[in-house]
Chains A and B, each alone.
Chain A
Amino acid sequence: MNRSTTLAEELAVRGITRREFLKFCTIMAGVLALPVDRAARIARALETVRRPPVIWLHFQECTGCTESLLRANRPTVAELVLDVLSLNYLETIMAPAGHAAEKSLHDTIQEGGYITIVEGSIPTADDGIYCCIAGRTALDILKEVAANTAAIITVGACAFYGGWPSTPPNPTGAKGVKDIISGVPIVNLSGCPPNVDNITATVVHYLTFNELPALDDLGRPLFAHGRRIHDNCERRGHFDAGEFVEAWGDEGHRNGWCLYRMGCKGPVAFMNCPSIRWNEGTSWPVGAGHGCIACGAPNFWEMPAYEPVPIHVLTPPTTYPEVEPVKEMSPITAGVIGAAVGVAAGVAGAVAVSQIAKKEE
């Protein structure tokens, strides 16, 4: 793709219908939690945008985040949008190697105005020798690239806070980008790995509105990290009913009951996995029968994966609001029925709670 062409021109060349393109824009508006009418604005912006150059740095990583990116589940258009980015430097897929690869990096840095995507943590112990590329440390490279960049997007838990390399005793002094770089806009696409739809949506937001999406206090996009997994989980009904998996493969597990007692971290995890899902939208970890490990949270490796997480504030209510439509009736009748419903709900709630308490004993 030529840097001077727009996405609209590329779509025409590649035979992608306008209908397909608008569908993609609408899905992106959905992922970004924007009103549907913003899809038109996204479409207009993407049609005219020129390619911003991108440097994608790999440090202490497993390439799982790149793999996640390569799994774009709406390939025809999503690939193109990511193609709109001029990936001037991405070791995993770039054709040049050695000096030729480093030349692309240096030329892009000199040009300036690029977006930097960082994958992997940065080792700081022993002068940073635990990750070297072309004879230079990750620490040196990051500082040089950050000095001239427009913005940094960290992908994955490692670039966010240090990830598993930083798990105690943190042998290499691994750190996240936000612990090293300041004075540059940073958006943290946490998750181990982050979902490609969230990566794409962040890029789309940047291209459409020319700014990074709204962030939470950890620098993570609110559209992806604003909601608790537990509150949007398809197994939540089983939690509220006190139906828990007690052992792998037991009746509850086979019936898709709540995984809380198997260590699910859904109650303390803020991600949009239950709604956008994984693998072309087919499933997600809890859907597949394993608890969430809260991979978007900082220091999540320090929470024991198979021990229940404390959730005192999140236990189900003892009573539920009335769900039957209220018919017109005399105030006295209403009062009597209301009291009876209240008692019945109270009893049902008490039974549910006593069942949970029993199972916990």
Chain B
Amino acid sequence: MAQKIVIDPITRIEGHLRIEARIEDGRVAEAWASGTMFRGLEIILKGRDPREAWLMAQRI
């Protein structure tokens, strides 16, 4: 019988992660991982002084 498992939040990691899995006969048939947080660094970095890119990127 198919069963769906959702684990959210995944702890002991850096960041935000959600795992969903569809179980069939005691085995994982399909699984989905989602990062559930977005900040848009790529958008923020556009047009900025390139010398500052590392300062921001190291804080991802």
Contact = CB atoms under 8 A, between A and B. Distances in A.
B60 to A, nearest CB: 6
A94 interface: yes
Sort chain A's interface into a size bin.
Answer: 35 or more
A91 B15 CA distance: 9
Given A62-B59, A95-B12, A135-B8, 6 more contacts: A92-B13, A94-B11, A131-B38, A174-B39, A305-B49, A306-B52
Interface of A: 58-60, 62-64, 91-98, 101-102, 123, 130-135, 164-165, 167-172, 174, 192, 293, 301, 304-306
A97 B16 contact: no
Contacts of B56: 164, 167, 301
30 contacts: A59-B37, A62-B59, A64-B59, A91-B12, A91-B13, A92-B13, A93-B12, A94-B12, A97-B10, A97-B11, A98-B9, A98-B10, A101-B9, A123-B39, A131-B16, A131-B36, A132-B37, A133-B16, A133-B36, A165-B40, A165-B44, A168-B44, A171-B44, A172-B38, A172-B39, A192-B59, A304-B52, A305-B49, A306-B49, A306-B51
B14 interface: yes
B55 to A, nearest CB: 6
Contacts, number: 92
Contacts of A167: 44, 56
Contacts of A169: 43-44
Sort chain B's interface into a size bin.
Answer: 20 to 34
Nearest to B54: A305
> Majority SS of interface residues in chain A?
loop
Interface of B: 6-16, 18, 36-41, 43-44, 49, 51-52, 55-56, 59-60
A169 B47 CA distance: 11
Nearest to B55: A305
Contacts of A63: 14-15
Contacts of B37: 59-60, 130-132
B44 A98 contact: no
Closest 6 pairs between A and B when the two form their complex, measured CB to CB: A171-B40, A98-B7, A165-B39, A63-B14, A97-B11, A131-B37
Nearest to A133: B9
B7 to A, nearest CB: 4
B23 to A, nearest CB: 15
A131 B7 CA distance: 16
B59 A164 contact: yes
Nearest to A307: B49
A91 B7 CA distance: 13
Contacts of B8: 98, 133-135
Contact of A92 (B6, B7, B11, B43): B11
Contacts of B59: 62, 64, 164, 192
A95 to B, nearest CB: 7
Contacts of B51: 305-306
